[in-house]
Amino acid sequence: MTEMLLRYFRTKQKEAETEKVYDTQCPFCSMQCKMQLIEQSTVTRKKYKTVGKNNPTSEGRLCIKGLNAHQHAIHTDRLKHPLLKVDGEFVQISWAEAMGIIKEKFTSIQSQYGKNALSVYGSATITNEEAYLLGKFARVGLETKYIDYNGRLCMSAAASAAAQTFGMDRGFTNTIQEIPHSRCLVLAGTNIAECQPTIMPYFEKAKENGSFIIAIDPRETSTTKMADLHLKVKPGMDAALANGLLKVIIEEQLIDESFIHERVNGFTEVKEYVSSLDLDEVSELTGVPVNQIKKAATVFGREESGMIFTARGVEQQTDGSTAVRNFLNILLATGKIGKKYSGFGAVTGQGNGQGAREHGQKADQLPGYRSIENDEHRKYISGVWGINEKDLPRKGVSAFEMIQKMDEGEIKGLFLMCSNPVVSNPSAEFVKQAIEKLDFFVAVDMFISESARLADLILPTTSYLETPGTMTNVEGRVTLREASFPVRGEAKHDWQIICEVAEELGKGEYFSFSSPEEVFNELRIATRGGIADYSGITYDRLRKEKGILWPCPDENHSGTERLFETEFAHADKKAAMVVVSNTPAISKEKPTEDFPLYLTTGRVMSHYLTGVQTRKSSTLAAREFESYMEIHPSTAEKYQIKDNMLVKIESKRGSIVVRSKWSQTIRKDTVFVPFHWADSQNVNRLVSKKLDPTCKMPGFKVSAVKISPVAN
Ligand SMILES: Nc1nc2c(c(=O)[nH]1)N[C@H]1C(S)=C(S)[C@@H](COP(=O)(O)OP(=O)(O)OC[C@H]3O[C@@H](n4cnc5c(=O)[nH]c(N)nc54)[C@H](O)[C@@H]3O)O[C@H]1N2
Ligand SMILES: Nc1nc2c(c(=O)[nH]1)N[C@H]1C(S)=C(S)[C@@H](COP(=O)(O)OP(=O)(O)OC[C@H]3O[C@@H](n4cnc5c(=O)[nH]c(N)nc54)[C@H](O)[C@@H]3O)O[C@H]1N2
Ligand code: SF4
Ligand SMILES: [Mo]
């Protein structure tokens, strides 16, 4: 080697001086892939790279979002100081000043308008510890009944369906490792290939093993491409489709009579209802040919094992909870639940979509999946918290209903943690106006999101790289996210912020925690004896055992891999089938002469939710830098819309402008727009305020719209 080359390599070596490795978990979806951030520092600069780390769920895999998650976390837009809005501009203030303002505002609002004039809006992206604390903060710190969270827009339909049918709700009833061995897999309204990409190998292995895969989606996606049979359902018609499947299953005698007899209530009524239906009518309603309904039903009914997975395509409907129940009816009629390789999976969305729905952020819920209206549950939790039961508020209302109360003036103050409701809620313009009416609004975020922009005060928080805590993944497996990346600026962890605000309000004695583990140890006591029992789980165990599936009622219990093997969780130990009518209680929007097309909404691989984080990542933003409307070419031509052209989309609620993307594979009566962009590209400007009457889920997946080319 020449002297020059030697010198070159020596300087290179010197430059790559130190390397640090930080363990963490991906901040995005429910797979909660374990990963490591590698930081290489030279004197002049730092370089970052994310790599996967082995674990029982994602087995070391990462998708494009996980690989690039550090780009937003280290972005220079990260907030480092509390910001107060003065004359329409944000100015940096100290934490002491911020706390003083919160105390003054919260106290004056409550003394003028009563305790319930304050509200809390939480998230399923925060840790279990933080979700638990936020619920306690609302009830004990602020003494308000108004708390709910973004999971209402996400998992509420599936959660309510499982709770009503089985008596409890854990996303997957079986472990993920069973998927490759199941003989027939139904993927209803779920796009796992883009939304939980690292789960795909389980399904690919199933296919290699000869499993028959049925996809139900109005569009062709990377997920439906894997299927043996794709039922291209009309948006919003899943409940009717499930009735068609049930009808064939029952008439072809593909039911499990002894299972029904021993373990199920309500079968006779369902049988009676579906036998009154006409399959041609079901086909007409759903847009799925009769032969395809028959094929799907007979394969699922005949195979010895089978699983059904639902996600937001079925669930984000004004009949989402009953639509899911109808898929559960199929599992119960065929006896494909509580057995090896047979079961249900509500494919959880957010990173802690499972855990955050168990520990008291929901309007009607207390930790451990307890109910705030149940006397025994109230007594138990009041005891754990050291308060008087009569001081524990009763149930409040759902996320969107809280926003309606802001509009009506009943709610005057908002403490928002880790959500961007101005982009993610239906009728987005209405939501913005309602939030603007508040007397005082505090947002806790890492960035100035579209919602934080409306706040009076923004508190800077830490990211997944910096905040340790537990996250319960898609399987119901509690995992410990280690995180030790140095906190920059004056940002604080969400759990610290909650405790400090409580302290400022004179409630410090209930929030004297100095680490997430201390919070977790209280959460364990609070969940003991509840449905979601975490009491046997400890940080030490999580480190050693790489995650534990709840319920786990004592430290010698190994966790629960498969649910309902001998009994369901209802008092009589049976599961409940229910008649789901083809005509839902709340009628859905149908195309009309004025609004002739269905609009459905969803996701793309490279962006996450309202895009606040992924739009900050240069690699991810480059893959998909603006929104679009997927449309069939023959429909496009009818409306003079060329490929890649700006289009105005209008509903009764408002309008947006996005670019067209021709696709031969979407239904001709349907257009699709993702929801990761804001302002004039925010598809939620078009979605109606109607909610599922049971679980209060908005109908994100069906609107009637008209489209027109934008003249330039
Ligand atoms: N890349 C990426 N991954 C994510 C997220 C993200 O934002 N981006 N978000 C995470 C979160 S919080 C969630 S909740 C999950 C969501 O995960 P999914 O529910 O899988 O995602 P969506 O794209 O909302 O909807 C899934 C599919 O439903 C279809 N669909 C639309 N209308 C209907 C209908 O009426 N019936 C049926 N059967 N299907 C319909 C859509 O065409 C779409 O392909 O993803 C998680 N993972
Ligand atoms: N049209 C339509 N609308 C939908 C959906 C759809 O399919 N179609 N899906 C719905 C679903 S499933 C969901 S889950 C919702 C999600 O809706 P949102 O909850 O509004 O979505 P996010 O983009 O996750 O917002 C999170 C915010 O918190 C910040 N943040 C990230 N991590 C942290 C943290 O650790 N702490 C704090 N304090 N802040 C943090 C981010 O910067 C961001 O501003 O959207 C719903 N809206
Ligand atoms: S987005 Fe989901 S699948 Fe992708 S790396 Fe993150 S947790 Fe894993
Ligand atoms: Mo979600």
d(CA 595, CA 324): 28
Helix (H, G, I), strand (E, B) or coil at 262: helix
**Distance in Å, CA 390 to ligand 2 centroid:** 34
How does DSSP assign 355-383, residue by residue?
Answer: GGGTSS-STTEETTTEETT-HHHHHHHHH
Residue whose entry in the numeric block shows the structure tokens 């690919």: 204
Q: Confirm if 318 and 586 have CB atoms less than 8 A apart.
A: yes
d(CA 334, CA 43): 65
Classify residue 687: in a domain, yes or no: yes
- Please tell me if the CB atom of residue 50 comes closer than 6 angstroms to any atom of ligand 3: no
Is residue 343 located within the same domain as residue 362? no
Sequence-separated (6 or more) residues with CB below 8 Å from residue 8: none
CB burial readout 213-223, b (16+ within 10 A) else e: bbbbbbbbbeb
Is residue 65 located within the same domain as residue 107? no
User: For residue 531, what are its two tokens?
Assistant: 């449905």
Classify residue 382: in a domain, yes or no: yes
Helix (H, G, I), strand (E, B) or coil at 73: helix
pLDDT tens for each residue of 572-624: 999 999 999 999 999 999 999 999 999 999 999 999 999 999 999 999 999 99
Ligand found nearest the CA of 701: 1
Q: Confirm if 472 and 170 have CB atoms less than 8 A apart.
A: no
Classify residue 541: in a domain, yes or no: no
Question: Cα angle at 502 between 499 and 507, to 5 degrees?
Answer: 120
Q: Of 328, 347, 366, which residue sits at a domain end?
A: 347
d(CA 125, CA 350): 6
CB burial readout 414-425, b (16+ within 10 A) else e: bbbbbbbbbbbb
Is residue 134 located within the same domain as residue 234? no
- Please tell me if the CB atom of residue 435 comes closer than 6 angstroms to any atom of ligand 2: no
- Please tell me if the CB atom of residue 62 comes closer than 6 angstroms to any atom of ligand 3: yes
User: For residue 598, what are its two tokens?
Assistant: 């269905």
- CA pseudo-torsion sign 377, 383, 387, 389: positive
Is residue 178 located within the same domain as residue 296? yes
Atom of ligand 1 nearest to the CA of 608: 7
**Structural domain span for residue 27:** 16-73
Residue whose entry in the numeric block shows the structure tokens 């308008």: 113
Classify residue 4: in a domain, yes or no: no
Sequence-separated (6 or more) residues with CB below 8 Å from residue 88: none
Is residue 68 located within the same domain as residue 167? no
DSSP 691: B
Is residue 385 located within the same domain as residue 300? no
Is residue 358 located within the same domain as residue 343? no
CATH of the domain at 275: 3.40.228.10
CATH of the domain at 438: 3.40.50.740
Classify residue 566: in a domain, yes or no: no
Q: Of 294, 319, 347, which residue sits at a domain end?
A: 347
The residues with which 472 forms a beta bridge, in sequence order, are 478
Residue whose C-alpha is closest to residue 125's, from 347, 312, 349, 442: 349
Q: Output the pLDDT for position 16.
A: 59
Is residue 173 located within the same domain as residue 285? yes
List the 548-549 sheet strands across, edge first.
Answer: 469-472, 477-481, 548-549
DSSP 588: P
Is residue 311 located within the same domain as residue 379? no
Is residue 193 located within the same domain as residue 315? yes
Amino acid of residue 371: S
Classify residue 3: in a domain, yes or no: no
Number of H helices and number of E strands within the chain? 24, 28
Is residue 385 located within the same domain as residue 487? yes
Q: Output the pLDDT for position 12.
A: 64
The pLDDT averaged over each successive group of 10 residues in the chain (712 residues) is 69 73 98 97 92 97 98 97 98 98 98 98 98 98 98 98 98 97 98 98 98 98 98 98 98 98 98 98 98 98 98 98 98 98 98 97 97 98 98 98 98 98 98 98 98 98 98 98 96 98 98 98 98 98 97 97 98 98 94 98 98 97 97 98 98 98 97 98 98 98 98 70
Most informative mutation of 28, 463, 473 for ligand 3 (most atoms within 8 A of CB): 28
Is residue 619 located within the same domain as residue 686? yes
Q: Output the pLDDT for position 274.
A: 98
Atom of ligand 2 nearest to the CA of 463: 35
Farthest CA pair distance, the chain: 89
- Please tell me if the CB atom of residue 32 comes closer than 6 angstroms to any atom of ligand 3: yes
What is the helix (H) or strand (E) element at residue 500, kind and residue range?
A: helix 494-504
The beta-carbon contacts of 284-291 under 8 Å, at least 24 apart in sequence, are 285/234, 285/237, 285/240, 285/582, 286/231, 286/233, 286/234, 286/237, 286/240, 286/241, 286/244, 287/232, 287/233, 287/234, 287/237, 287/667, 287/669, 288/231, 288/232, 288/233, 288/241, 288/244
Residue nearest to atom 33 of ligand 1 (CA): 313
Classify residue 579: in a domain, yes or no: no
pTM for the full predicted model: 0.97
Residue whose C-alpha is closest to residue 195's, from 312, 71, 308: 312
- Please tell me if the CB atom of residue 315 comes closer than 6 angstroms to any atom of ligand 2: no
Q: Output the pLDDT for position 10.
A: 67
Q: Of 347, 368, 383, which residue sits at a domain end?
A: 347
CA 319 to chain centre: 18
Q: Output the pLDDT for position 109.
A: 98
d(CA 270, CA 546): 42
CATH of the domain at 639: 2.40.40.20
pLDDT tens for each residue of 28-81: 999 999 999 999 998 889 999 999 999 999 999 999 999 999 999 999 999 999
Most informative mutation of 30, 51, 58, 479 for ligand 3 (most atoms within 8 A of CB): 58
CATH of the domain at 61: 2.20.25.90
Residue nearest to atom 5 of ligand 3 (CA): 66
- CA pseudo-torsion sign 571, 572, 574, 580: negative
In 242-350, the DSSP E strands lie at 264-265, 307-310, 343-346
Domain count, the chain: 4
- 146, 401, 432, 441 from 410: Cα distances, Å: 11, 11, 16, 14
Classify residue 660: in a domain, yes or no: yes
